[in-house]
Amino acid sequence: MFRALSARLFQGYRTNKFPAAAPALPERFRGRPVIAADAKLDPSCCPTGALGKDCLDMGRCIFCGNCSKCGVVFTKEYRLGAFDRSSLIVKQGEELPEVVVKKDTPMAKLCSKSLKIRQVSAGGCSACELDFNVLGTLAWDMGRLGIQVVASPRHADCLLVTGPVSKNMLTALKKTYDAMSEPKFVIANGACAISGGLFAGSDEICAPLDEIMKVDFYVPGCPPHPAVLLEALVRFKGGSAGAI
């Protein structure tokens, strides 16, 4: 036991300061894109069809940065989560918008102190799951914000779905959703769940998720950085977190 205690002293207190302070993001982090008014966009450079002639759909974007060549600038703005699908469209010439905080949503009224999440992995590559799991580690410790993962859908307020909903997961996903009691909310996490992402052209998937069930919140990314997801979860339940 003494060894465990001395180990604890050696390792120290390591939970980061987010959401009170801005998160530490890598130098090359690619956050919310902005498109200069005079940029000539080339949609053919985009692997997921996110880039249009005069806009970029963050719901399909994998933030690969290919379109940096034709004038899209990826900023450090990591607060990407949105309450509706249309807010994920970045229009040419538009400046970075104000981050939307809503305190009067049903989610905010019910879950502001405690949010229980049942996650379902519905296809995909597992990176979204891995970076969601990171929020449970002591570096991010989402439990201190009242956010917790639960095993049973019966205990969950919210279903967090990752992956493009493969045909073989459709039944299991629907059954999990049906097993949740009302009121219940759904978060589409990652490009796959929002739009099919890289797999949008496959005949083996059912995404977008919002055509299968009502989605209350969207978190873009491939996968969303833990800071992106945690900020989104805080805002989902009516709070606001770490400005840049």
State the amino acid at position 235 in one-letter form.
Answer: R
Contact with another protein (CB under 8 A) among 87, 148, 202, 240: 202
> With binding defined as CB under 8 A, does residue 142 bind another protein?
no
* Number of chain positions touching another protein (CB under 8 A): 62
d(CA 147, CA 236): 11
d(CA 90, CA 58): 7
Which is nearer to another protein, 35 or 159 (by Cβ)?
A: 159
> With binding defined as CB under 8 A, does residue 126 bind another protein?
yes
Task: Tell me the window of 4-12, 80-88, 101-109, 209-217 that interacts with another protein (CB under 8 A).
Answer: 4-12
d(CA 68, CA 45): 10
d(CA 179, CA 191): 25
DSSP strand pairing (33-35 vs 72-74): antiparallel
Q: Which helix (H) or strand (E) holds 231?
A: helix 226-236
DSSP strand pairing (115-121 vs 158-162): parallel
> With binding defined as CB under 8 A, does residue 7 bind another protein?
yes
Q: Is the peptide bond preceding residue 43 cis, with omega within 30 degrees of 0? A: no
Tell which residue, 53, 30, 192, has the closest CA to residue 125: 192
Task: Tell me the window of 105-113, 169-177, 180-188, 212-220 that interacts with another protein (CB under 8 A).
Answer: 169-177
> With binding defined as CB under 8 A, does residue 59 bind another protein?
no
Count of residues in the chain: 244
> With binding defined as CB under 8 A, does residue 9 bind another protein?
no
List the interface residues with another protein, window 71-100 (CB under 8 A): none
Task: Tell me the window of 22-30, 35-43, 76-84, 210-218 that interacts with another protein (CB under 8 A).
Answer: 22-30
> With binding defined as CB under 8 A, does residue 65 bind another protein?
yes
Q: Phi and psi for 189 in degrees, rounded to 5?
A: -110, 115
Which is nearer to another protein, 199 or 236 (by Cβ)?
A: 199
d(CA 136, CA 62): 24
Please report which residue ranges of 29-165 form alpha helices under DSSP H. Answer: 106-111, 127-133
Contact with another protein (CB under 8 A) among 18, 30, 72, 217: 30
CB of residue 133 to another protein, shortest distance in Å: 5
Which is nearer to another protein, 166 or 195 (by Cβ)?
A: 166
Contact residues for another protein, defined by CB under 8 A: 3-4, 7-8, 10-11, 14, 24, 26-30, 47, 62-66, 119-134, 136-139, 149, 151, 163-164, 166-169, 171-172, 175-176, 198-199, 201-205, 222-223, 225-226
